[in-house]
A and B are shown apart, each in its own frame.
Chain A
Amino acid sequence: MSQRIKIAQKDGKVSVEERTSAASIFERSVPGRTGFSLPAESADTAKKVDDAIPARFRRKSRAALPEVGELDVVRHFTHLSTRTLGVDTTFYPLGSCTMKYNPKINEDIAALPGNCHVHPHQPADTMQGLLKVYHDTAEILGKLTGLPGVSLQPAAGAHGEFTALLVMKAYFESRGEAHRNEVIIPDTAHGTNPASALRCGLEAVNIQSDSRGRVNIEELKSRLGPNTACMMITNPNTLGLFEDQIHEVAELIHAAGALIYLDGANFNAIVGRVRPADFGADMMHINVHKTFSIPHGGGGPGAGPICVRDFLAPFLPAPHIKFDGTSYSFDHNCPQSIGKVRSYFGNVNNVMRTYVYLRQLGEEGVRQIASYAVLNANYLLSLLAGAYDVPFGRRCMHEFVINATRQKNQGARAMDIAKKILDYGFHPPTTYFPLIVPEALMIEPTETESKETLELFAAAMLEIARLSAEDSSQVTAAPQSTPVTRMDELAAARQPVLSWPDSK
């Protein structure tokens, strides 16, 4: 980490001390300093503005934004970037998040003026290239999933879940089955599933997994009823296991007149090798920021396109995209549509990056995503399985879950192990998820990592297991190489400080 040293000048003396927290941009503010360069105000500005905007609408004083120069800003944020780990910095095996390499060509194409400076209200004939990208991306996603009705409007995975559930409700209403208001959700599901159901006025019905980490068929049967609207299932599930009884699950759900919603968070494990429609999915979302290499950007933006069966397509958000053989356009005349779930057409920027990636990979390349994601996960599992307990056997899909109870009993909990991993220069795996595995560490290496990176990470993990067994205090004291060590999150939540205090 750079800038660990702070040179201070006080009372004519220069002191050097270790600086561990980065100064706030507000502390760098110097009254009167500016960081922008625009033409001077036109001579008539004061008069024109005074005439146009009556005094009662005016701001009383300028906003207390920092007053800093361009170099101040550049140094400040460059320094902050060095206090952040990304996929470009190090291995990032965050389970369920698919932190694969983000190709740079995606960024170059997205940044072309003909892409990034198009206004959504331009006449359609002035943005045929962009509309073609929209149309073709939807078509490719429809082919890969086997679900031909596609909407690129949802802005993220959770937003896709929400949108698809609304589509489902509209479908049931059109059939006079508006009473269906229950959504069956396994206990391994992402928290967004029940939260999205709630947002649609639906009720979440939770079911437990069986001892193999799969859907408990008997419990599923007991929860099915006339009010069941759908089951939200993640496949492979968040334990990294393919739901091998999915055929039976889908038959039960469909026999009850309900639908299968596939949470596409783990699509990376099967893309190009299995079409979700073939195992019974009626609708799904795709996290393009996982499967299709969109960078996570510190938490977003992603995009959450949804793919649905033909009979659900009329209900997709408006507008729909149309191609008449010569030109592309948006069709706003969609009488059965649920309406809009986002302004304009969606996260066009990330649809563009998705398209670039899909065009570069082609059919064989897309198949290699899943092939090597699964190979890498199984290889890493084979390296760790002796030192750590893996509750669901030695085969996995694109990710696997460790149960660190053995290490906990030695004194080092899953969280301690995660923090110690930071000291070896890697980002930790996901911790304490899924909820059904105690002391869970969920590891997803992705297809883009090399054999030697997996081995280095495994070496660190084995060393941590050894330390845990011999002297767990060396694990619990971690991390020590980071700008700060473990934070007191309880105190932070008790009296939250959510913005820099105003000096006035």
Chain B
Amino acid sequence: MTNPFILATPAEEKEMLAACGAESIDQIFSDQIPAEYAWNKTFGLPPALSELEIQRELGALAATNRNSTDTVSFLGGGIYDHFCPAAVGAIANRSEFVTSYTPYQPEASQGTLQAFFEFQSLVTRLFATDVSNASLYDGATALGESLFMALGARPDRSTILVSETVHPDSRALAATYLKHFDVKLVTVPQSGGTTDLAQLKEAIGPDTAAVVLQHPNYFGCLEEAEEVAKLAHEAGALLISICDPISLGLLAPPGEYDADIAIAEGQCLGLREFGGGETLGLFTCKKEHVRRVPGRLVGIAKDKYDRQGFVLTLQTREQHIRRDKATSNICTNHAHNALRATIFLCLMGPQGMEHVARMSARNTARLRDAIVSKAPKAIAFEAPCFKEFVVRTKLPAIEVCRRALEKNFFAGVPLGHLGPGFENHLLVCATEKRTDAEIDQFSEVLAPCL
């Protein structure tokens, strides 16, 4: 079969080999690689497909996956089915953006540099924080990076307090990231769906480097972030706040309650669910920590004609300069996902962000009210919530999801993965995309299971 990605014709290949003084491509390899390593057997890979066959076969394979365009989704738990304007994909998919490299050569990269600078600007304004980097992989790794920043900023302290209401993947990642350091990672229990403040007061102390709070938390509940910030600061610790960027159209941003480091999963900002793969780590902090920031930063610069432009800056923090003294090992980030978020935030503007946040809160309240009217005791936690909440189910939540699927609903996230006692808990989410009819029908489907 033809290979459209190799352009040399047999005649050209011959000329090129002659210029190289080689008989064959094999010879160029055998000149350099000991013969014992040459692989001349079969790997047993699947046979090559033409582009037409790819369209046919992989198109059919994709069609076997149910998804939020054919099934009404009440799934959340970190990855959401929010509205995305058509212009986001249309512009982000400009192939100059898609096929460019990291902007190490600023003269050839003013477009991406400016876009990432605007990304940083939009995120700091949404979060009301001083500094944003140009993206990390996802919300969970953003937490990992923020822990190293906090430990660096409080070098004489070695305890990190993490609320039990933080996303379980993020908590698991924190444990993985800190395992080989002399750091105590302490979980502060929840009570009634929010961080138990009495227990937090008990746990916090002179060795606490940082307190990690998610608000709204994994259960959808609102946390007393301002009070937690005060507790952390009184003890000389940092507050690391994990927020939902969509919620910031309505809720107080981390800067308003004085978070020192504010991070988030940015998938909700114009990215697709993609099996949880199209993620965006948002990372912001107070300016006093700017030289500990992980990853790339874009800043304003001028050329010799005094023309304004943009460059990667403060690079002495980074691995390609500092090697084993870098603030992080990150190199490749999630730039293109950040570009999508940038375009999304520009299109939505202050009004659009507020609208989406209010309609998500409103739809969630409608769903909650509908459930309360049918099964008053099914709401697991009474605390105020933003766009998702937990319901108690009579059957295992996994079974509830199975039944709802028969009626064409993704019912939500079964919380059994949180451990014993959570098997009959279901996390449901209603974004601005859900209609009243969908919400009402879904509550009817859920009712017999509650």
**Smallest beta-carbon distance A282→chain B, Å:** 16
Q: Which of B126, B326, B364 has the most CB of A within 10 A?
A: B326
Do A483 and B110 have beta carbons less than 8 Å apart? yes
- Roughly how many angstroms separate A70 CA and B410 CA in the complex, as a whole number? 32
Given contact pairs A113-B69, A492-B301, A36 touches B355 in the complex (Cβ within 8 A): yes
With an 8 A cutoff between CB atoms, is B152 at the interface? no
Chain B residues within an 8 Å CB radius of A199: 148, 177, 328-329
B252 touches A161 (CB 8 A): no
Q: By the criterion CB–CB under 8 Å, are A80 and B8 in contact?
A: no
Interface assignment of B320: CB less than 8 Å from any CB of chain A: yes
Judge whether A84 and B118 touch: CB under 8 Å: no
Inter-chain CA distance A485–B73, complex, in Å, is 50
Instruction: A360 to B31: give the CA distance in the assembly, Å.
Output: 30
Q: How far is the CA of A65 from the CA of B361 in the complex (A)?
A: 21
Pairwise interchain contact A241-B273, C-beta atoms closer than 8 A: no
Knowing A65-B348, A88-B96 touch, does A36 contact B85 (C-beta < 8 A)?
yes
B355 near A38: Cβ-Cβ < 8 Å: yes
Given contacts A48-B361, A67-B349, A73-B91, contact A62 B354 (CB under 8 A): yes
A196 to B326, CA, bound (A): 9
Inter-chain contact total with CB atoms closer than 8 Å: 695
Q: Which of A60, A103, A448, A492 has the most CB of B within 10 A?
A: A492
B313 within 8 A of A: yes
- B329 & A162 in contact (Cβ 8 Å cutoff): yes
Interface hit among A152-160, A220-228, A253-261, A466-474:
A152-160
> Which of B128-136, B153-161, B199-207, B373-381 interfaces with chain A?
B128-136
Cβ of B286 under 8 Å from chain A: no
- B353 near A: Cβ within 8 Å? yes
Interface 9-residue window, one of B97-105, B232-240, B441-449 = B97-105
Contact at A356–B103, with CB atoms within 8 Å? no
- On whether the beta carbons of B7 and A345 are closer than 8 Å, the reply is no
Report B58-102 CB contacts with A as 1/0, cut-off 8 Å. Answer: 110111111111110101011101010101011111111111111
Task: Collect the chain A residues with CB atoms within 8 Å of residue B350's CB.
Answer: 62-65, 67
A195 touching B326 in the complex, CB below 8 Å, given contacts A38-B355, A102-B98: yes
Q: Tell me how many residues of A have a C-beta within 8 Å of chain B.
A: 204
Q: State which residues 240-275 of B face A: CB under 8 Å.
A: 248-253, 256, 265, 272-275
Interface residues of A in 390-446 (CB under 8 A from B): 394-395, 397, 418-419, 422, 427-428, 433
> Cβ of B275 and Cβ of A113 under 8 Å apart?
no
Residues from chain B with a CB closer than 8 A to the CB of A309 are none
Q: Inside 8 A of A85's CB, which chain B residues have their CB?
A: 96, 100, 108-109
Q: B45 contacts A140, CB within 8 Å?
A: yes
Contact call A129/B38, Cβ cutoff below 8 A: no
**Which residue of the partner chain, among A36, A51, A270, contacts B352 with CB atoms under 8 Å?**
A36
The answer on a CB contact under 8 Å between A42 and B101 is no
B interface, size bucket: 35 or more
Closest chain A residue to B13 by CB distance? A375
Residue in contact with A155 in the complex, picked from B54, B137, B358, CB distance below 8 Å:
B137
> Is the beta-carbon distance between B355 and A493 smaller than 8 angstroms?
no
Bound complex: CA of A56 vs CA of B256, how far in Å?
11
**Chain B 101-128 per-residue mask, 1 if CB under 8 angstroms from chain A, else 0:** 1110111111110111110111011101
Q: A365 to B48, Cβ gap below 8 A?
A: yes
A-B contact pairs, 27 of them (CB 8 A): A35-B346, A35-B348, A48-B362, A54-B384, A68-B346, A68-B347, A83-B111, A84-B109, A99-B101, A115-B275, A120-B79, A120-B273, A123-B405, A155-B141, A156-B330, A159-B330, A244-B33, A270-B33, A304-B332, A365-B48, A383-B19, A451-B7, A482-B107, A487-B301, A492-B299, A493-B313, A500-B118
Q: Shortest beta-carbon distance, B341 to chain A, in Å? A: 12
A35-B346, A298-B103, A349-B274 given as contacts; is B358 within 8 A of A375 (CB)? no
**Contact present for B314 and A496 (CB under 8 Å):** yes
- Does any Cβ of B come within 8 Å of A379's Cβ? yes
Contact B94 A192 (CB under 8 A): no
Shortest beta-carbon distance from B152 to chain A in Å: 12
A363 and chain B: residue at smallest CB distance: B45
Check B334–A296 contact: CB distance below 8 A.
Answer: no
Decide yes or no: A191 and B54 within 8 Å by CB, A157-B332, A500-B118 being known contacts.
Answer: no
